[in-house]
């Protein structure tokens, strides 16, 4: 089954304790992206990756890191989480999003709800 | 900078009645427009998109959307609502201009649709 898998789905942690949210897709997609969803703000992009070893900042990258060492995986790293990073996080992927192919729809994971105390 | 506005946080409609979820956008050049739906505790799912061509786009589950360039709108519609259509709906836009982050998908804040039995 084609899917985007995120782990963990739920996590409660404390300020400053490093954590990683994993994301894996089995559709051989070039493009992957992380979003956070907050009430009244919709989805805001954190980081994205056009392909392996190519990552770039989205609209709200502060406090986050990513890596794309393999095509299927795109982990989100919070080096020192703070309470303002409490949110619902979504990973998404699609076929290439180069300039001639920006109409490709995104496939989303089920979400990871993070609470930072 | 590109942006999306969903002016209604909440839309209530009786089952069997037509529904409309509103979306307006601002972007450089011709837009790529999308609608996604989010059911409780699930990731977003693609509904439909406008790239070019016919202004009336048909998508999944009987939904359609009308692209209106002069009004910069892309309203989601369905002729007869079902209780199972109750969900959170997101409009999104991607422009053709700009670079890096400016080429990414921008989401609206979402509209909660409730279909009453």
- Among the partner-chain residues A97, A99, A108, the one whose CB lies closest to the CB of B44 is A108
Please list every residue in chain A whose beta carbon sits closer than 8 Å to the beta carbon of residue B41.
110-111
CB–CB of B114/B85 below 8 Å?
no
Task: Work out the widest C-alpha separation in chain A, in whole angstroms.
Answer: 44
Mind listing the pLDDT tens digit for each residue in B40-54?
A: 988 999 999 998 889
Distance from CA of B114 to the nearest CA of A (A): 17
> Does the beta-carbon distance from A106 to B103 stay under 8 Å?
no
Q: Could you write out the DSSP letters of every residue in chain B?
A: --EEE---SEEEEETTS-EEE--EEE-SSSPEEEEEEE-TTS-EEEEEEE-SS-SEEE-GGG-EEEEETTTTEEEEEESS--GGG-EEEEEEEE-SSS-GGGGS-EE---EEEEEE-
Residues 6+ positions from B106 with CB-CB distance below 8 Å: B2, B3, B4, B92, B93, B94
In the prediction, which pLDDT does A65 show?
A: 98
In the prediction, which pLDDT does A92 show?
A: 95
The residue of chain A with its CA nearest to that of B95 is A102
Percentage of chain A lying above the pLDDT 70 cut: 96
Mind listing the pLDDT tens digit for each residue in A37-86?
A: 998 899 999 999 999 999 999 999 999 999 999 999 999 999 999 999 99
CA angle (B52 as vertex; B113, A58 as ends), nearest 5: 65
What are the residues facing A10 on neighbouring strands?
A: A113
What are the residues facing B51 on neighbouring strands?
A: none
Selected residues 17-56 of chain B with any CB under 8 Å from a CB in chain A: 32, 34, 36, 41-46, 49, 51
Percentage of chain B lying above the pLDDT 70 cut: 93
- Among the partner-chain residues B96, B100, B107, the one whose CB lies closest to the CB of A42 is B107
Mind listing the pLDDT tens digit for each residue in B50-84?
A: 988 899 999 999 999 999 999 999 999 999 999 99
């Amino acid at each position: 089954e084609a899917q985007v898998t995120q782990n963990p789905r739920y996590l409660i942690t404390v300020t400053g304790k490093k954590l990683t949210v994993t994301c894996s897709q089995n559709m051989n997609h070039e493009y992957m992206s992380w979003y956070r969803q907050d009430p009244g703000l919709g989805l805001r992009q954190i980081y994205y990756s056009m392909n392996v070893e190519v990552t770039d900042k989205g609209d709200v990258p502060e406090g986050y890191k990513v890596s794309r060492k393999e095509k299927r995986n795109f982990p989100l790293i919070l080096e020192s989480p703070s309470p303002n990073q409490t949110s619902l996080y979504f990973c998404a992927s699609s076929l290439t999003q180069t300039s001639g192919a920006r109409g490709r729809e995104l496939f989303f994971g089920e979400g990871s709800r993070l609470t930072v105390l | 900078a590109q942006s999306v506005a969903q002016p209604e946080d909440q839309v209530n409609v009786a089952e069997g009645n037509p529904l409309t979820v509103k979306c307006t956008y601002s972007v450089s050049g011709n837009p790529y427009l999308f609608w996604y739906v989010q059911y409780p505790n699930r990731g977003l799912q693609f509904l439909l998109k406008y790239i070019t061509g016919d202004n009336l786009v048909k998508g999944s589950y009987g939904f359609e959307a009308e692209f209106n360039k002069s009004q910069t709108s892309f309203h989601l519609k369905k002729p007869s609502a079902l209780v199972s259509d109750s969900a959170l709906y997101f409009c999104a836009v991607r422009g053709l201009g700009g670079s890096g982050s400016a080429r990414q998908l921008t989401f609206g804040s979402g509209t909660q649709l409730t279909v009453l039995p």
